[in-house]
Chains A and B, each alone.
Chain A
């Protein structure tokens, strides 16, 4: 038998290879990733585990800055080193083996220490999307953090010691349009239907429908009719309280057809309407978070350098104040519901057409602003995407790591609050910071040679840090002892966990999709516990 030959072109090789991740961040997310360039300082096991999960999905390029020579211990915990790597430069060896994972990724190795680059060629860092550093001393952390803050390049500082690990993300500002919330706010405008929608909803007559049509009435219509009926005896108010919503449910139950014995007939669409009462009757509103965004100074005081996000926020403000009458542009997405194809497609097209119209208004405002500022144009597709996600826009305002190290008032009172609780994850933070201090004072990790002797010395570091925060010393030495037991050891599976998480955060930062950690993450593999702090 002759084979049918479908005309559709086969998918490209690249689409096939990346299929499972394209379902998470789309082709535009992938394009952003492929334009990304990551800089890693120090190719420790943690460093290479991070790069592994960024190289596999296809980042544009990676640059490794590492002047260290490969040791036996490196080979023992770093998968991207071979026995023959011993004595060679760690950056170039790991780079060679990492690039095998994905031929599409470009790679560079730089043999100078980060300190030297900072001193001699600070512009080096300007070209990166994200700079990630592991195992750098206290002084370098602060110098690097300050420089990256000044040139506005995202920075991730990472640590892995024994069962403990952490990462800290430093970004001045990060704006996200596609946050991919677990539960999207539905936007149906039943309380303020636009004319075309009102006309469509009003045309239904629930009681007059025969049994088949009755079972196909979309729940949106049922809800709308129930509220209208309720409003006749309630001064046209909108049902808000639980009691009032229960009254709506009673009306919906009255709508349900009864059989000859007076028992209600099972109708899925009416069941759906009953279930939707609590979520779909929330009045249309402008979320406070979005109001804060569009009235923030970044949206009001635009300059030629303003990012498209802020220009679109400004246009959005214009829309809300004028055509939107206090509301955001319609999302234009209809949830699935039991109904006929005809009703569903019609209703969907009503919502979509209105959303397109409102997005066009916003787009015109964007064009006006762009014209006034003489800045780069913004595509209509981008504005549509922005409007579609207007309810979920998100802004992270970051803080400088140097401030955290200087222990200003805000930082000390923040840490103090958690230590009072007492929060063991904040204790781990103190230990990680103290171990860093120990390293800079003694030129070795606490317990690197033998644990007992360093307990007292590490305790001095901890107590000093705690007194700088105006906190009393820890009553017990157990966590200090445990840190000395680790002796600065890097445990592969702990680094692998953190590597996965940090790679993920870097991808979020580059693709500007999903919300990254704001801004400090602590992991304790011993207790399988994690925490997020915001410094």
Chain B
């Protein structure tokens, strides 16, 4: 402490002159709560904890942007290690860093470049960190490429919400989430105030459905080079097991990719299909999304500006979703995405599912996977009967899947479910177990078909 007192306080240093103008002067467009003062920068530097999720294309940019906006208490989490194909945009990494932890490498670089920055790295998956970890942050900013991980994180922040006795939201439990995503020359950035504005689950329909090829096309009537590659990936690999049955196809192993490429070429030639290339093979195998430095820079910067606004109130936040398209000129559009009153993540209501009384468990399972409000990946369904937990279906553990598979064909009433019964659902898209109340709909066929 004695050392610090003789020096200029960190937030008074000349290098922060630019930002101090925004924070120490008032303006006609400021947030109504904004009181200009030198203490705001002190808060940003010495109190405000921000979590950056992902240390990839967006994460590297976010770490740099926020460090230069004055934030010092930064944490960044990423389980990945650095690959050569990251270097065209993830600018904190060099060829020598290949194989090292992205989070650690990024933090080391930025802490060295920006004096005073105290960023902390977490080289692990977001699911490895618990409620207590996430609760310590003032703001979370997310630059992930996986929708499932993004939904999980969203679910985590929603589960931290507390409600008062009158069912109103306890504002102190709200941790704002700023989320960015890019794909090629397109991207989006959004601000989520949990429990108050639309969350990730509220707007699942904004994500384009995944492109898949029907199995019969792949097997019987291939037309495109992609069909040939999919054939080798889905059917031929498992049949031939070129590296033995214990080795599964790895899109990062150049030998594997080359094998698939050659087999796909053979199949294409047989059918008179052209244009199977190595690049395409790799793209299909790894589901590669094109990425470029410029789009990542623009989206991350938009997110960083919003984090700065949230932390300082120097300006009102974006409301609440911006899309960016740089393929024809530079085009942006900002709109207010709407909160779903029955959202499974952010609404404080009991969820219910309408289902026919003679439906099978499969019908519930399908609803959980296909219904726009759920879009789950592999839901595990349990219920409580006479005070005891009973697993109805679970696919994530092989032995349980085998034991419960037959239940899917059974009628839900046979399984002990009734009108008003609760089912408990777990899925990779959320850290929380959802309780859903079954509501039997009338069984009358009012629609006799077309």
Contact check, B65 vs A493: say whether CB atoms are below 8 A apart. yes
Contacts of B67-95 to chain A: CB distance below 8 A: 68-69, 84-85, 87-89, 91, 94
B interface bracket (residues with beta carbon within 8 Å of A)? 35 or more
- State the total of A-B contacts with C-beta under 8 angstroms: 258
Contact check, B243 vs A3: say whether CB atoms are below 8 A apart. yes
Contact check, B61 vs A496: say whether CB atoms are below 8 A apart. yes
Contact check, B293 vs A503: say whether CB atoms are below 8 A apart. yes
Contact check, A501 vs B290: say whether CB atoms are below 8 A apart. no
Q: Which of A4-12, A111-119, A310-318, A365-373 contacts B (4 or more CB under 8 A)?
A: A4-12
Q: How far is the CB of B387 from chain A (nearest CB, A)?
A: 47
Contacts of A491-513 to chain B: CB distance below 8 A: 491-494, 496-497, 499-501, 503-505, 507
Q: Which of A14-22, A87-95, A195-203, A280-288 contacts B (4 or more CB under 8 A)?
A: A14-22
Contact check, B293 vs A53: say whether CB atoms are below 8 A apart. yes
Which residues of chain B are within 8 angstroms of A21 by Cβ–Cβ distance? 88-89, 290-292
Tell me whether A500 and B294 are in contact in the complex, defined as CB-CB below 8 angstroms, given that A11-B278, A478-B28 are known contacts. yes
**What 0/1 pattern do residues 3 to 47 of A give for CB contact below 8 A with B?**
111111011010111111111100000000000000000000100
Which residues of chain A are within 8 angstroms of B242 by Cβ–Cβ distance? 3-4
**What 0/1 pattern do residues 25 to 36 of B give for CB contact below 8 A with A?**
111110000000
For B298, give its contact among A22, A57, A481, A497 (CB under 8 Å).
Answer: A497
B343 at the interface (CB under 8 A from A): no
Number of interface residues of A (CB under 8 A): 92
For B27, give its contact among A57, A101, A485, A516 (CB under 8 Å).
Answer: A485
A451 at the interface (CB under 8 A from B): yes
Contact check, A17 vs B91: say whether CB atoms are below 8 A apart. no
For A56, give its contact among B27, B185, B293 (CB under 8 Å).
Answer: B293
* A16, A182, A492 pick with most chain B CB within 10 angstroms: A492
Tell me whether A496 and B315 are in contact in the complex, defined as CB-CB below 8 angstroms, given that A11-B278, A22-B279, A52-B297 are known contacts. no
Give the complex CA separation of A186 and B222 in angstroms: 22
For B292, give its contact among A20, A481, A528 (CB under 8 Å).
Answer: A20
For B21, give its contact among A17, A485, A499, A532 (CB under 8 Å).
Answer: A485
Q: Which of A73-81, A243-251, A380-388 contacts B (4 or more CB under 8 A)?
A: A73-81
- Of chain B, the residue at the smallest CB distance from A337 is B223
Which residues of chain B are within 8 angstroms of A490 by Cβ–Cβ distance? 18
* B259, B262, B293, B334 pick with most chain A CB within 10 angstroms: B293
For B301, give its contact among A13, A479, A496 (CB under 8 Å).
Answer: A496
Give the complex CA separation of A289 and B355 in angstroms: 55
Q: How far is the CB of A88 from chain B (nearest CB, A)?
A: 15
Which residues of chain A are within 8 angstroms of B114 by Cβ–Cβ distance? 79
Contact check, B65 vs A6: say whether CB atoms are below 8 A apart. no
Contacts of B188-236 to chain A: CB distance below 8 A: 217, 221-224
Q: Which of A131-139, A145-153, A338-346, A399-407 contacts B (4 or more CB under 8 A)?
A: A338-346
A72 at the interface (CB under 8 A from B): yes
**Residues of A with Cβ closer than 8 Å to B?**
1, 3-8, 10-11, 13, 15-24, 45, 49, 52-53, 56-58, 71-73, 75-79, 82-83, 100-102, 162-163, 179-182, 216, 336-341, 344-345, 349, 447, 451, 478-479, 481-482, 485-487, 489-494, 496-497, 499-501, 503-505, 507, 514-518, 521, 525-526, 528-530, 532
- Show 16 residue pairs from A and B whose CB-CB distance is below 8 angstroms, ordered by the A residue: A6-B255, A18-B88, A19-B279, A20-B88, A76-B15, A78-B68, A179-B328, A216-B221, A341-B273, A481-B27, A487-B21, A505-B330, A515-B327, A517-B329, A526-B315, A528-B306
- Other than A7-B258, A163-B315, A493-B65, give 5 A-B pairs with Cβ distance below 8 A: A8-B278, A23-B283, A79-B64, A481-B27, A489-B22
A-B interface, 10 closest residue pairs, ranked by CB to CB distance from nearest: A76-B15, A500-B297, A500-B298, A6-B258, A496-B301, A72-B14, A497-B301, A504-B294, A478-B28, A492-B68
